[in-house]
Chain A
Amino acid sequence: MVLQLFITGISMGMLYALMAMGLILIVKAVGVLNFAHGQLFMLGAYITWSLTNQLKLPLWAMIIAMIVCFCIVGLSFMFTVYWPLRNSPWKVTVVISTLGASIALKEAVRLIWSFIPLLSKPLIDKVIRIGDAVMNVQYIFIIIISGALMLFVYFLFEKTFIGKIMQATAQNRYAAELIGIPSVVAIAGTYMISMCMSGVGGWLAAPLFLVSQSLGTFAQKAFAGIVVGGFGSIKGAVVGCVLVGLIESFSILITDAYKDAVVFGVLILVLIIRPTGIFGEKIEEKA
């Protein structure tokens, strides 16, 4: 049973980490927490469901179409939810705007795709058995694809010039514009990448949890992972999310009904003991 708990914990942790990546990107680009991120994740699942089941695209074409769609959604989201409010004297205005967007997205999805949870076929419909434990093969895809995307984001931000541009825009948009950085392009790029990561997460999670409006609830755990790992740190988010997944999974040994209370209890504890999170200090030094 311990092995089962470990497998479930790691798998769910990686899924949360994939969501967290998209969130961190937006935080780094515009310094705002996107509360509609869970709904963008859900939207990704619905878009890929339509491309696969309604347009009947083969996998390669579906992936291309999916990326194009996600980029359009990312841009639309940025220009409707963030851009008009970017100069507001209160930063919280954009946060409230993302909260509103989360409700609007949820209801829009219900109007477009109706209310019945939809079935999405996994890439390989198999379960592998490791001793007494079982693991859906879809989780292996989640771990591999999430890992690859996380590495991509890490290198993009830490090792590339484009990443530095994005970070510079996030830290001081005015100064970045003064030295010739086109902030609108940098921010738009970040929103597109963020949406792609959420959308891919939704696509990967859908066969395991159905395509439904409640898919967005996973974002709560991703938020918790980001805080545990250290707000704003990519490495921290991954470690934090995997930790959240494991805590959530192993909490069943203590309580079956209140495992969310255990997860968020640990979150509060981390904030009391180490308010900056596990990797928080390093970020402060870098900033």
Chain B
Amino acid sequence: MKKIMILLLTLLMVFSFTGCNRNGDKPGEDEPIKIGLTDAFTGDRAGNGQYTKEGVDMFLEYINGKGGVLGREVVVVYEDDQGNETAAVNAYQKLILENEDLTAVVLNKYSSVVLAMEPYVADSKIPAICSGSNVKIEQSTNPYLYSTRRSDYGSGATMAAFIKQEGAKRVAILYSPDALGKGMSEIVIAKLQEAGIEVVSSQQFSEGEKQFANYVAKIKESNPDFIVCIGQTSETGLIVKAIYDAGLNHIKCIGNSAFAQATTIEQAGLEASEGWYSITAFAAGTEEEPTASWIRSYTEKYGHAPEMTSVTTYDALSMICYAIEKANSTDPEAVNAELKKILNFEGIAAVYSYNGNPMLANSEFVIQIQNGKAIVLTKVIG
């Protein structure tokens, strides 16, 4: 009896491993092409996931409307990463284990979450495109990781150059406690100091902060002539409003991409956000095509303007499908090889090229909020 049990268990294990073999079963030619996607669909960052999903739906409608890729329908398989590192690692592993025929994966915009998943991306050998911008993503040597963004190093340098150009002498900085805030503020401070500009106040606000009056009081006390703010869309509206309420709206203010988003302007109000500058990968107020038409279609479809994540996800999926077509295959290795050949790919948010590091975008906008619209002042390339 014991021997039979051992034999049965051994057979079970053999079949289990066979089932886990990625290369064991090839998907049929008429089966849909599967692309995985992890983002926050529950929890405090669920809003980001919803915008992402809207971008995905726009893309799938477009691509499948014109016959799919290689004559096959494209489908996206979702997994909820809750916007936090631990859940993200589990979500990524679940996605890979439950979907053996994934061609590529799209990851979210939170750099710390992407960095937590990065080793698993390398292990699975499936190309993954995120929208994180942290310098550590740029420095990653993982051959399967890409980002639809320019790195914080570039954005920070652009921000510092703009502040210098505006003639600032005393700068106050307020930043979020995540990878974005810490990483980008370090670069901005270093670049400002290089340019001989004094950083009179540098504050990192608490996780989940909602009350910014005290931080702004500290900024006011440092008497700056330029204010730099770095944060996520969950807090940017409150920061802009707090600066306005404190009567500091006569001081020039600049923020990262979240400060250029429609939700920030709506939450802070038109008066409070008027005149703010932002360095952003995606400018909702741009007149440039095809971005302007895309934003109009999106707004008509969903009744609200897109966030950066809607557009970068759309672009990530576009690049993956382009690579599949070029490779004439859904094999992850073949698609990965084609992604490395991406050159001047015209997306909605930017023009993308692979330059030997994960950051595919090499352009950004300096915008200013005027009458509630993000107006492009300059396009920075390189």
Contacts and interface: CB of A to CB of B under 8 A. Distances in A.
A209 B304 contact: no
B220 A127 contact: no
B350 to A, nearest CB: 25
A209 B210 contact: yes
A164 interface: no
Interface stretch (A115-123, A173-181, A194-202): A115-123
A249 interface: yes
Contact of A119 (B47, B211, B214, B266): B266
A162 interface: no
19 contacts: A115-B49, A116-B50, A117-B237, A119-B266, A127-B245, A133-B217, A134-B246, A208-B210, A210-B238, A210-B267, A212-B234, A214-B234, A256-B205, A256-B206, A256-B218, A257-B177, A257-B203, A257-B206, A259-B206
Contact of B44 (A116, A136, A209, A214): A214
Contacts of B99: none
B164 to A, nearest CB: 26
Interface string B251-267: 00000000000010011
B246 to A, nearest CB: 5
A115 B221 CA distance: 36
A8 interface: yes
A209 B238 contact: yes
A117 B215 CA distance: 22
Given A115-B46, A214-B44, A4 B217 contact: yes
B267 A117 contact: yes
Contacts of A129: 247
B200 interface: no
B245 A1 contact: no
A244 interface: no
Contact of B218 (A1, A110, A117): A1
Contacts of A1: 217-218, 220-221
B206 A136 contact: no
Contacts of B211: 8, 12, 209
Interface string A251-277: 010001111100000000000000000
A115 B267 CA distance: 14
Interface string B32-74: 0000000000101011011000000000000000000000000
A257 B204 CA distance: 5
Contacts of A110: 42, 46
A134 B216 CA distance: 10
Interface size class of B (residues with CB under 8 A): 20 to 34
Interface of A: 1, 4-5, 8, 12, 107, 110, 114-117, 119, 127, 129, 132-134, 136, 208-210, 212-214, 217-218, 249, 252, 256-260
Contacts of B42: 107, 110
B50 A252 contact: no
A116 B233 CA distance: 10
A134 B203 CA distance: 20
B208 interface: yes
B98 interface: no
B179 interface: no
Contact of B206 (A127, A134, A260): A260
B342 interface: no
A116 B206 contact: no
Contacts of A256: 203-206, 215, 218
Contacts of A259: 206
Contact of A114 (B50, B204, B266): B50
Contacts of B246: 134
Nearest to A220: B208
A129 B214 CA distance: 14
Given A134-B245, A213-B46, A116 B207 contact: no
A252 B214 CA distance: 7
Nearest to B217: A4
B47 A132 contact: no
A117 B263 CA distance: 8
Contacts of B220: 1, 132
B20 to A, nearest CB: 32
Contacts of A218: 210
B245 A8 contact: no
A8 B213 contact: yes
A119 B272 CA distance: 14
Nearest to B47: A115
Most buried by A among B47, B214, B247: B214
A4 B246 CA distance: 10
Nearest to A210: B267
A127 B247 CA distance: 10
B214 A249 contact: yes
Nearest to A263: B206
Closest 6 CB pairs of A and B: A115-B47, A257-B204, A4-B217, A256-B203, A115-B50, A209-B210
Contacts of B204: 256-257
Nearest to A9: B214
A16 to B, nearest CB: 11
B263 to A, nearest CB: 6
